[in-house]
Amino acid sequence: MKSAIYLTLTLAASVCMPALAPEMAAQQASTQSTLPAPVRSPQIPSKAKFADTEYDLDRIDLYERLDRELTAIAYTHGNTLLLLKRANRYFPEILPILKKNGVPEDIIYLACIESTLNPRAYSPAKAAGIWQFIPSTAKQYGLEVNEYVDERYDVEKATAAACRFLKLLKAKYGDWESVAAAYNAGPARISKELDAQQASTAMDLYLNEETTRYMFRILATKLIMENPRAYGFSLNADQLYTPMEYDILEVNTPVADWPTWAKKHGITYSQLKDANMWIRDKTLPNKTGKTYRVKVPKQSSLHRSTASKAVYNPNWVK
């Protein structure tokens, strides 16, 4: 009797199991899909170099400050991806100007953290453009800033102005890390703290949190942009923003209406503004007859299918 009951139960189980198997498999797969992806701390190198200085990260304070910024930037995926994409457009424009002016190429990472290479960047402190000049400093270093023209948004002119400012700071402090700190906090504050703390470089100063982090944000950005794949960033070449090509037209007269001017030259007002963000109003009085160089995008640059496919740094893509 017991054998018959056992046989009956076994047969019943064998009939039910195939029906239950897909449901169990689905539940198991669902459980696996909800498991979090592994989160790994970025590897900190033993040394890091910026411009002409190499830093030994065996020093605990330097190691931990870089670790904080590298971790933060590596996991701020959206902004870091946008920075890599924009770099393909703006590095070819900015780096030659730095080189021409005798400024180290690594200074470009200062612009990266100031604005994420967003040429429209504008801060609550009224700093504008890729280099984030405030109006008074911009004017001091030769940029025109008014309601019609704001050359802080002109990448070429703003970069040249930044070079003039940075070289003056370098002559004052002698090292580029102090230059970077002074760019962020202002020369007066850095000079005061160098004296008060009896330090020779801003890297050894105890400052407000923003400026303390500033130099290490530059170092972290450099590390990621030199080798994005090492920090989990993977882009295809066609995902980078394409370099733009322009016809340059000189304008030394008033412009009654920029939208009409743009239409006459075969582009929209929006495309004119994207190429010339220094234009701040729909008119240009230009009472002095100053000559402005206006960029008109070539038609081939306005479409992904015909735009340049150049990749500035092969390390940025798979």
DSSP secondary structure of 32-70: HHTSPPP--PPPPPSEEEETTEEEETTSHHHHHHHHHHH
According to the model, what pLDDT value does residue 27 have? Answer: 56
Other Cβ atoms within 10 Å of 114 Cβ, number: 23
pLDDT along the chain (318 residues), means of 10: 44 44 53 71 96 95 97 95 98 98 98 97 97 98 98 98 98 96 97 98 96 96 97 96 97 98 98 98 97 98 95 95
What is residue 8's predicted lDDT score, i.e. its pLDDT? 43
What residues pair up with 145 in beta bridges, in sequence order? Answer: 150
Position 156, amino acid: E
Task: Please answer whether residues 223 and 217 qualify as being in contact, where contact means their C-beta atoms are separated by less than 8 angstroms.
Answer: no
Radius of gyration of the chain (CA): 28
The reply to whether 225 and 102 lie within a common domain is yes
Neighbours of 55 (CB within 10 A): 20
Of 106, 183, 115, nearest to 155 by C-alpha is 115
Give the CATH number of the domain where residue 191 resides. 1.10.530.10
- Helical packing angle, 108-115 and 209-226, nearest 10°: 110
Report the alpha-carbon distance of residue 181 to residue 207 in Å, rounded. 10
69 domain-assigned: yes
Residue span of the structural domain in which 283 resides: 246-297
- Residue 211 and residue 76 share a domain: yes
List CB contacts of 240: < 8 A, sequence separation 6 or more.
84, 85, 87, 88, 89, 311, 312, 316, 317
CA–CA distance from 136 to each of 122, 146, 148, 154 (Å)? 15, 11, 17, 16
Tell whether 156 and 264 lie within a shared domain.
no
Quote the pLDDT of residue 28: 55
Give the pLDDT confidence score for residue 232 in this predicted structure.
93
CA pair distance 306, 114, nearest whole angstrom:
32
As beta bridge partners, residue 47 has: 56
Domain match, 228 and 260 both = no
3-state SS, residue 79: helix
pLDDT of the residue at 122: 97
Q: What is the pLDDT of residue 22?
A: 52
CA angle 95, 121, 213 (to 5 degrees): 75
Provide the domain count of the chain: 2
Indicate whether 307 belongs to any domain. no
Tokens of 41: 């701390």
d(CA 278, CA 292): 10
Residues in the chain: 318
pLDDT for residue 7: 41
Closest CA to 181 of 203, 162, 161, 160: 203
Is residue 37 one of the residues assigned to a domain? no
Rounded Cα–Cα distance for residues 314 and 318 (Å): 8
Q: Give the CA count within 13 Å in the CB-facing half-sphere of 193.
A: 19
What is the per-residue burial (b if ≥16 Cβ within 10 Å, else e) of 144-181?
Answer: bbeeebbbbbbbebbbbbbbebbeebbeebebbbbbbb
Do both 63 and 178 map to the same domain? yes
Assigned domain for 11 exists? no
223 and 260 belong to one structural domain:
no
pTM above 0.75, yes or no: yes
In the chain, beta strands by DSSP E = 47-50, 53-56, 246-251, 292-297
Query: Is there a domain that residue 314 lies in?
Result: no
Q: Are residues 186 and 282 in the same domain?
A: no
- 229 lies in the same domain as 278: no
What is the reported pLDDT for 158?
A: 98
Assess whether 135 and 271 both reside in one domain.
no
